[in-house]
Each structure stands twice: as C-alpha cells, then as structure tokens.
C-alpha cells in the first residue's frame, strides 16, 4: 500500500502532497469522532507503533514530488488515522526534509500531545494543525468519543505544553456542528489561552453522519473568534486550486471527496 497521495487542494494549505504514516485498510485512531469521513474507529488505541517503515516514505514520496513538479505548496502528514500514533514520526519528517525544501505540516487530533516524545517530534514540523472541538469533558466525550485513557483536560494541557516549545506555525481546528455551535465563545476564550497563530473554523462538508452548518452559521461563529482578536480561516471562504492527483485511486481512498 502506498504511503503518499495527492497532490490535493486544501482550503488551509493550498496544494498539498499527503503522507500517511498509518496506511492501513481500517482507520487507526484514539478517537471515534462523530463526523469522521473515514467512518467508525473499530478499535480505539493510544498505543504507538511503526505502521510503515521510514524508508518506504522516501521511496513513495520521491516520484510524486518529481511528477508534481512545481504544482505543490506543502507536504502534509495525515491520512488513514492519527499520525502521531506512528512511533517513527520524528524519523519520517527527517526523511522528508532530505527530499524537499517544501514546508511540512501535520494534521493531528492532539490526542497524544500530552506525551513529551510526541511533542518533541511535532516540534520538527513547520506547521501543526491541532484539533479541539469541545470546551468541556461532556462535549469531548460526545463528539470525539476518545479511548478510555484520554480526557479533555489531558488534551488541552498537551496542546498548551506544545505551544510553549513550538517555534513554527500552530493552528487550532474546530469542527462545528449542532452539538457545539452554541459554545463558540467558550472555544474562542480557550483558544486565546492557548495562543495559536490562527484558528480554522470547519464543519463536516465531506460525507459523514453529521450534517454541516450552513455558511451563515459559520460566518457568525467566525466573527466570535475574530472579535476576540484571533486570526481565522473558514471552510466556506476557501479558495481551492485545481489539481490533478498523481494517483487518483489512492488519493480518493484517503480523501473521499476532493
């Protein structure tokens, strides 16, 4: 199974090549989020492991970089599960740095940021997008449905600790839906305490079990964050470049809708 897909158009990161350090048929994740486009997590886990040998990343990435030529803005670690579960995350980013001068990002649900070794690996990235969907334990359990070892407090403290050591660009992503839309101000105040470089205001626009909020609702939520002085990006204000993936089948497997 290939570990690299794309390029794909991203409303946050423009033209992105995806690197999947999990690359399993079934999603591997500490969460079972209600809105996940990859469906239900069959077995939630916080156990880190090597799912893909580091050398394979380079073998898969090199030809994609060559074929994509100048049509790429960034390399993004994401895919079929939570990338920080990969025990060789730090090695993998070093390998990618040896192949390209492009900035390197990661999309993480922040579930393992409470671990120092994970924070050290994440600090190697140029951009980190960390998810935070809830302002309290009750909503965290309802929306993200985490592994039993995880708590809302552990997630938030992990993000705060990472912010203290990270010199790159940190974004918080908040996925808004009916369950948490009334908590926009609580989440904005929490974001201020964390101090991200920007906040990504999202809603489930890809096929899943949760209905997305409409553009007017997202605009109102965005204003709440901006009124508190936070820089934002919104999913409904995206400007998506037109890109032809190198391998459409592999890309669609990880990104059901491009």
**What is the structure's pLDDT at 79?**
82
The CATH number that applies at residue 139 is 3.20.20.70
Q: Report CA torsion sign: 89, 91, 92, 98.
A: positive
Find out whether 251 and 4 touch, Cβ atoms under 8 Å: no
User: Per the domain annotation, does 73 fall within a domain?
Assistant: yes
Amino acid 238: pLDDT: 58
Is 245 a member of any domain? no
H-type alpha helices, 52-179: 54-68, 89-97, 116-122, 137-144, 152-165
pLDDT of residue 242: 46
Residue 22 lies in a domain: yes
Compute CA 215 distance to the chain's CA centroid, rounded to the nearest angstrom.
22
Tell me which residues of the chain have a pLDDT lower than 50.
Answer: 242-246, 248-254, 256-258
Over residues 214-239, the pLDDT tens digits come to 999 999 999 999 999 999 999 997 55
Is there a domain that residue 14 lies in? yes
Report yes or no on 158 lying in a domain: yes
Q: What is residue 201's predicted lDDT score, i.e. its pLDDT?
A: 97
In a domain, 251, yes or no: no
pTM, to two decimals: 0.91
Is there a domain that residue 30 lies in?
Answer: yes
Q: Into how many domains does the chain fold? A: 1
Q: What is the CA radius of gyration of the chain?
A: 17
Residue 11 lies inside a defined structural domain of this protein:
yes
pLDDT computed for residue 38 by the predictor: 86
Residue 41 sits at the vertex; the CA angle it makes with 113 and 240, to the nearest 5 degrees, is 75
Query: Domain containing 42: what range?
Result: 4-239
């Amino acid at each position: 199974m290939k570990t690299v897909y794309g390029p794909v158009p991203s409303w946050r990161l423009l033209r992105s090549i995806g690197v999947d350090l999990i690359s399993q048929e079934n999603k591997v994740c500490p969460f079972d989020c209600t809105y996940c486009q990859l469906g239900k997590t069959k077995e939630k886990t916080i156990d880190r492991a090597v799912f893909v040998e580091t050398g394979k990343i380079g073998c898969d990435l090199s030809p994609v970089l060559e074929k994509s030529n100048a049509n790429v803005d960034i390399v993004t670690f994401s895919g079929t599960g939570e990338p920080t579960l990969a025990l060789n995350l730090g090695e993998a980013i070093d390998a990618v740095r040896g192949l390209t001068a492009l900035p390197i990002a990661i999309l993480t649900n922040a579930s393992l940021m409470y671990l120092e070794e994970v924070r050290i690996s994440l600090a190697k990235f140029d951009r980190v997008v960390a998810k935070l969907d809830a302002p309290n334990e009750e909503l965290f359990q309802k929306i993200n449905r985490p592994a039993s070892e995880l708590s809302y407090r552990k997630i938030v403290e992990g993000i705060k600790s990472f912010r203290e050591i990270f010199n790159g660009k940190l974004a918080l992503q908040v996925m808004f839906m009916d369950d948490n839309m009334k908590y926009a101000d609580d989440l904005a105040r929490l974001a201020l305490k964390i101090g991200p470089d920007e906040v990504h205001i999202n809603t489930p626009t890809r096929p899943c079990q949760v209905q997305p909020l409409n553009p007017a609702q997202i605009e109102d939520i965005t204003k709440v964050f901006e009124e508190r002085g936070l820089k934002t990006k919104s999913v409904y204000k995206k400007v998506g470049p037109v890109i032809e993936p190198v391998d459409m089948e592999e890309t669609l497997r990880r990104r059901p809708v491009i």
